[in-house]
A and B are shown apart, each in its own frame.
Chain A
Amino acid sequence: AQKVTQAQTEISVVEKEDVTLDCVYETRDTTYYLFWYKQPPSGELVFLIRRNSFDEQNEISGRYSWNFQKSTSSFNFTITASQVVDSAVYFCALDNHTGANSKLTFGKGITLSVRP
């Protein structure tokens, strides 16, 4: 069975602070994808990143960076110099993509509040 654990439920920071959102996953598959999505107050889920299980390179996109470590089954997300617009719920998700069927397993989400 697949499982995604986001142990932090709520995080509050002051603008310009760095913040790391943790994600730990469980799967028996050797091939899988990991995702991060952002859900702002308006409700839609915004795709942020997808990482293939064979690619452990860290990635940086502007103020966002992701640290994928298979040895600890973690896929953590860091926001550098946080801004008020970063306030949202962030979901980590796992897709084992068995055959043609893509099925996402989501964590429960982390509510990030960035105060001015």
Chain B
Amino acid sequence: DGGITQSPKYLFRKEGQNVTLSCEQNLNHDAMYWYRQDPGQGLRLIYYSQIVNDFQKGDIAEGYSVSREKKESFPLTVTSAQKNPTAFYLCASSPPPDGPQHFGDGTRLSIL
């Protein structure tokens, strides 16, 4: 079945450590997105990518990095520079030219 797969479902990070969240889609969508959700808050855009090898910062990109080497994959790295990384992270993708965004199941990141 087509869909968006995020892994792992739960992730723990030690202080000063970088961690990478995986997002894979087999929907043949061009655009992919990363959002952060905090309790009682809406989703905020971290990074997005319209095509392979290209990506743009969203509203809260500081402390995060991404890559888009393949159409299917858009991994997000939470660096040690992100001082408050505990949150629920959601990946999305959308079809061209302007299809609605569809979301994965999310990864919950916590600090040890």
Contact = CB atoms under 8 A, between A and B. Distances in A.
Give the most central of B40, B48, B100, B103: most A CB within 10 Å. Answer: B100
A45 B103 contact: yes
Interface string B26-62: 0000010100000011111100101000001010000
Interface of chain B, main secondary structure:
strand
Interface residues on B, range: 20 to 34
Contacts of B31: 102
Interface in A21-75: 33, 35, 37, 42-47, 50
Interface of B: 31, 33, 40-45, 48, 50, 56, 58, 88, 90, 92, 94, 97-98, 100-106, 108
User: Which 7 residue pairs are nearest across A and B when measured between Cβ atoms?
Assistant: A106-B42, A45-B103, A43-B106, A44-B105, A106-B43, A108-B42, A50-B100
